[in-house]
Structure 1
Amino acid sequence: MNILHIDSSIQGEQSVTRSLSSAIVTHLRDQLPDAQVIHRDVAAAPLPQFSAEAVLADPAVAPTPSARELTMALEEVLAADVIVIGAPMYNFGVPSQLKSWLDALAVPGRTFRYGADGVEGLLGEKRIIIASSRGGFYGPESPMAALEHQESYLRAFFGFLGVTRLEVVGAEGVRMSPERADIAMREAMDQVSRLQAA
């Protein structure tokens, strides 16, 4: 079992998603002690911005540093069985550093392909677990639901790549009050404890 652990929060030790993603990986490893884990912190070491230089460079001829970094990120995903992603909501969406990592994954012929029947995602065997946090409330029943472009974006993106097994461990309303933050974290950790390794 190969686990790829992605963190994207800029909050360091104060980060809710870093706490959750770490707890998820620990919980999975408790069930699968032989699992191999690769950790990539895209906030501490951001990938290059999506650019023609990075995308159009031929790695077989003269790989640029940007192209090499993007290729490595893609290969980590292709080698993973489970991908745990710490994804806080920033300004109604995902962090820009996480978006750069996602951009590196959408590669025709590697993670999706075009065919006679349209687009086919190629990552159907992957399991994605999102560690999500939001300062406010953005669920379907919330007046703010129309501004939620974080979890919905991740579901759409990975669905495009063929992923059918996507789970969200979420802590919502963590900036509303210390009391609400405590409740949200207890509820999220309970979700973590119920995750199955397979």
Structure 2
Amino acid sequence: MAKLLYITVNPKKDIERSKGRQIGEVFLETFRQEQPDVEIVNWDLFTLDMPQMDEDLLYARAKLSFMGYKLEDLTERERSQITRMHALADEFITFDYFVFVTPIWNLGSPAILKAFLDNLFVAGKTFTYAADGAQGLLTDKKALHIQTRGGIYSTGRMEPLEFGDRFLRSALEFLGMNVMETVYAEGLDHFPKQIPEIMANAKEKAAEAARKMAKETVNQ
């Protein structure tokens, strides 16, 4: 059975108040129609229990990777942090499809997304070091980003200032994932009268992306 991890990055719990979640629900409904047996799990990053990249976690990584320490040599706090990080990465790897639903805040994604991605960069699990540089190991995974934007970032002077989608795509591709074309709804703050049209177009693209992703096989 295929598994899809649906990752929401928005503190708004009510779907009616979150345009990104509304678009995401269209994706999920369409995907279920294409793959009725898929297992879908939602991780809300604002409630997910995950370690932060603090001093203890930094030292734990360094001690285990190149300082010759073993897990039992770490402090209790270091051991707790690194164990949680590896557990999160291990669970993440068990999924086949990934959908990230985020808003753009102040030119980028909410900071909690970066904190989450920090937990996925684990050498030997999600990437490895090769003679010509790092290589991603998640080559059998498919990913999609659904993003809502208050302004216009696809063209014009704001285009080079959009760092949310750009960073997420780069991170996932670094880990080896096949990342689909981003589905976005933009201009939601600039053109409030056009919101119904903007949302309808984004939902249609989300449904198309779901049908395309569902038809792409993964190695299970």
Q: TM-score, normalised by structure 1?
A: 0.89
Q: Tell me the C-alpha RMSD between the 2 structures.
A: 2.0
**C-alpha deviation, 1:44, in angstroms:** 2.8
State the one-letter code of the partner of 2:51. P
Measure, in 2, the Cα distance between the counterparts of 1:131 and 1:156. Answer: 15
What pairs with 1:1-198 in structure 2 (closer than 5 Å)? 1-13=2-14, 14-45=17-48, 47-54=50-57, 56=60, 61=72, 63-64=79-80, 66-139=81-154, 141-195=155-209, 196=211, 197-198=214-215
Q: Within 1, Cα distance between the matches of 2:6 and 2:206?
A: 15
CA distance in 2, matches of 1:193, 1:121: 28
Q: Percent identity?
A: 28
Contact 1:128 1:167 in 2 (8 A): no
Gaps of 5+ in 2: 65-69, 216-220
CA distance in 2, matches of 1:168, 1:76: 24
Higher normalized helix content (fraction of residues): 2
Check the 8 A contact 1:112/1:122 in 2, yes or no.
Answer: yes
Residue 67 of structure 1 and its aligned partner are, at CA, apart by 3.6
CA drift of 1:110 comes to: 1.0
Shift of 1:185: 0.8
Give the whole-Å Cα distance in 1 for the aligned partners of 2:82 and 2:88: 10
Structure index of larger Rg:
2
| Contact 1:17–1:131 (8 Å) recurs in 2 | yes
- What is the rounded CA distance, in whole Å, between the counterparts of 2:82 and 2:30 in structure 1? 34
- 1:46 and 1:74 map into 2 onto residues whose CA distance is 13
User: Tell me, what secondary structure is at the counterpart of 2:119?
Assistant: helix
Matched residues, number? 196
Matched AA of 2:56: E
CA distance in 1, matches of 2:181, 2:92: 17
> In structure 2, the residue corresponding to 1:194 is in which secondary structure?
helix
Separation (CA, whole Å) in 2 of partners of 1:54 and 1:22: 35
How much does 1:28 deviate?
A: 0.9
- Conserved? CA contact 1:84–1:129, under 8 Å: yes
**How far did 1:112 drift?**
1.0
Give 1:68 shift. 4.3
Give TM-score, length-normalised by structure 2.
0.81
Over 3 Å counting, the alpha-carbon distance change for 1:151 and 1:160 in structure 2 is same
1:64-99 deviation line (CA, Å, top 9, x unaligned) = 1x4444333312320111001112111111111111
Distance (Å, rounded) in 2 between the aligned partners of 1:23 and 1:72: 30
